[in-house]
Amino acid sequence: MKYKEDQPKIRKNKYVPTAEFYSQIIDSLQDYSVFTLDNEFKINSWSAGSSKIFGYETEEVIGKPFNTIFTEEDIKNGIPENEIEKALKEGRATDNRWHIAKDRSLFYAYGVVFPLVGSDGDMLGYVKILRDLTQQKRNEDAIKKHIRDLKDLNAHKESVLAILSHDLRSPLANIIQATEYLKESYHTMKPDEIQRMLDMLFKSAKGELAMLDYLVEWARVKYASDVFSPTKIKLTEYINKVFDSLIESASIKMINLHQEIEEDIFVFVDGKMLISIIQNIVANAIKHTEKGGSIDISATRKEDKIIVRVKDTGIGMSKEVMDNLFTPQIKTLSEARKKNKGAGIGLILVKGFLEKNNGEIWVESTEGKGSSFYFTLPIDKPLFKPDGSE
């Protein structure tokens, strides 16, 4: 029997993958960016997935430094160098962070970098692999923001109810009581007594209306996002509008209103909100500045934003007051009303408007030496907000 001899011989060839084979595999990974660096940390290979994620074609990015893909903040903090050092020390370095694409948009990615060593032990460079997790990050941030908003909504509801109870209901009850007394005793009262009571009623009613206006605006910040319409506007025009509306109250106290802002400074904000922001800050400055003082507004560019400063020569503030200045504390609001220092929530309203416009606010002050309020405004429409609160 010649069974074994009659069987055809099967030849098993050992397949050795080529560099082209590996290149094709890497280029098929469209959701991943894979590229290499030489020993000078310059990009010397670039996958198809890298082009898709970053927007750079291969010929555009070859030879560019490693930090091309990092944000300015990370570059300042030495993140690219730290990754390389950690990779050399531990064999690999991993991170989750925001990176910047060709069109300057941001995306969130998981990344790993490790040294590339040849068969003879020579250092050839580094390999960087990134996976785009932007949508996942946005979903996570959206959930976190939703939780924060629910907490904020509950706190806001309690604040509004407390203000309605403490700062609106009680003074309104006093107005009704005084009006009733005036109605019943009008024929027996002296003219100057009637005049004093009418002045008091007018002042109280005006204060109630101001408080109600603040509450309406505050609610608009929280809930009426459909009326939020940011556009590119000239900053000086809106400051002049505020100065025109407040010139009379400033003139009574002989306070000089002055601005030192270049005509070509534009910001991307909601115009109505910007008016409210500037008006609240300047009106507060007038209220707390002695006769003959001054209020100066200036602005400086810093990267993609404008920093506006409103400086006054007023009475200044203590550290305790500054610490609670932008926090909606009902006790503070009520005391402010009693001391005739305004509604008390104006600066909280300002903070809400600024956050809505991708800005922030802070204050520097010394008692007896005046205050400086600083707030930021974006120059252009943000491409994407890293906290997910688009």
Choice between 327 and 286, residue whose per-residue pLDDT is larger: 286
pLDDT in tens, 291-307: 999 999 999 998 889 99
Indicate the length of the chain as a whole number. Answer: 390
Question: What percent of the chain clears pLDDT 90, i.e. is strictly above it?
Answer: 27
Q: What is the mean pLDDT of residues 86-113?
A: 89
Distances in whole angstroms, Cα of residue 55 to Cα of each of 36, 59, 99, 130, 166 = 17, 12, 12, 14, 57
User: Higher-confidence residue: 360 or 346?
Assistant: 360
- Where in the chain are the domains? 19-132, 139-378
Distance between CA atoms of 189 and 248, rounded to whole angstroms?
Answer: 35
pLDDT at 16: 42
SS3 294: strand
Q: Which fold has domain 139-378?
A: Heat Shock Protein 90 (3.30.565)
Q: pLDDT at position 333, please?
A: 45
pLDDT in tens, 123-164: 889 989 988 887 787 788 778 877 876 776 666 566 666 656
Task: List CB contacts of 19: < 8 A, sequence separation 6 or more.
Answer: none
DSSP assignment letter at 385 = -
More confident residue, 13 or 105: 105
188-211: pLDDT as tens digits = 888 888 898 888 888 778 777 766
pTM of the model: 0.51
Architecture of domain 19-132 in this structure: 2-Layer Sandwich (3.30)
Residue whose pair of structure tokens reads 């996002």 in the numeric block: 225
Confidence of residue 239 (pLDDT cuts 50, 70, 90): very high
Assign 249 a pLDDT band (cuts: 50, 70, 90). confident
For residue 168, pLDDT beyond 60: yes
Tell me which residue has tokens 């200044």.
316
